[in-house]
Amino acid sequence: MKGRVLVAGFTTRHVAQSAFRAGYQVYAVDHFCDQDLTWYTEDRIRFNELEDLPSAIEDICRQYRFDLVVMTSGAEDLATGLPVCGTSKEKVIRFLDKLDMQHFFEELGVPVAGLAEEGEYPAMIKPRRGAGGWRNAIINSAGETETWRERYPGVRYLRQRLVNGMPSSVCCVADGVRARAIATNEQLLRGKGESAFGFCGSVTPCDHPQSSRMIAIAETIAAASGCSGTVGIDFVAGKEPHVIEINPRFQATVDTVEMAMACNMFRLHVDACKGMVPDRPLVPAMYAARRILFAEKDKIIRTNLKQLSPIIADIPWPETFFEEEQAITSVYGRGETKEAALTILDKNITTVQQYLR
């Protein structure tokens, strides 16, 4: 084993799995603690609310010593005094506030969806903090703005001008001054309801005509950010790609990136934190797709879904209760073309749904 790693955050399975495959002894602090997280970790602690996360980290650190600590979504700016492998708290803070992020993009001179003027509609409204796009919405009037504010009281927000195109991203690794793009991704969104812009999966690589341009912009941003390790840059790719956000942490696209690019993101992350980034771009080995399935109504999943591995991940325990719209599991598809990968994904989803009734 290469050492003992703690992975902490709201969801950690994708990072823990990558670290395990890279040869590390893995421990986790996680909100879900799904079945397959136990396959890749020596021990784990589950927490309920994000405010419980620091004490959960303290608990596991009283039991074990760690060589590396990796923070995922929700834990990026925690002060733990531990040897964090990734972007430091001091540098990551700027990129947790989307307004500060916006100013960074504007100062860098990259194409970015601009801030909407007062009274300018339609516009995209989004929380200044948070990941996944779950509370993002298109607003068409001052009344709709007020409705959004009432739905999310006390949440600070910003409004951006709308840009049309494919939701996409570029996964990079950086050493604080240099960056290398690892993969482009098409992002799959819910597309309906209050969470229409919520992330629900990815396809890697992204075949958009602007992919090369996105790579160049993403490498510029990641290098200028001062971040270390894996960094994700979100785009809306139309006639020109517009930058939306920077994510200075492991991204939810890890699974499809590793499948498609035949790489190990944890190994690339650790190497980048040591000052080593790949000399040349990686070449895709296949297309990989992932989609998250959500509960259509309140339900209990009584079947043990682990029998469906490896076409699924984030596997809940039998008798787990899910509220309507809550994420249940992830399903995969892969193939030599995008169409083949999506066809396999659809077949696998049909198989999995038989066990979710």
pLDDT digits (tens, 9 = 90+) for 318-333: 999 999 999 999 999 9
Q: Is the pLDDT assigned to residue 79 strictly greater than 80?
A: no
- At 102-159, the pLDDT tens digits run 999 999 999 999 999 989 999 999 999 988 888 999 999 999 999 999 999 999 999 9
Mean of pLDDT values over 17-33? 98
- Report DSSP letters for 81-113, one per residue: -S-B-SS-HHHHGGGTSHHHHHHHHHHHT--BP
How far is Cα 310 from Cα 302, in angstroms, rounded to an integer? 19
Of 252, 267, 264, 262, nearest to 314 (Cα)? 252
Q: What is the largest CA-CA distance in the chain?
A: 58
* Stretch among 73-82, 180-189, 225-234, 345-354 having the lowest mean pLDDT: 73-82
pLDDT tens string 280-336: 999 999 999 999 999 999 999 999 999 999 999 999 999 999 999 999 999 999 999
- The CA distance from 348 to 357, in Å, is 15
Question: What is the pTM (predicted TM-score) of this model?
Answer: 0.96
Tell me which H or E stretch contains 138: strand 137-139
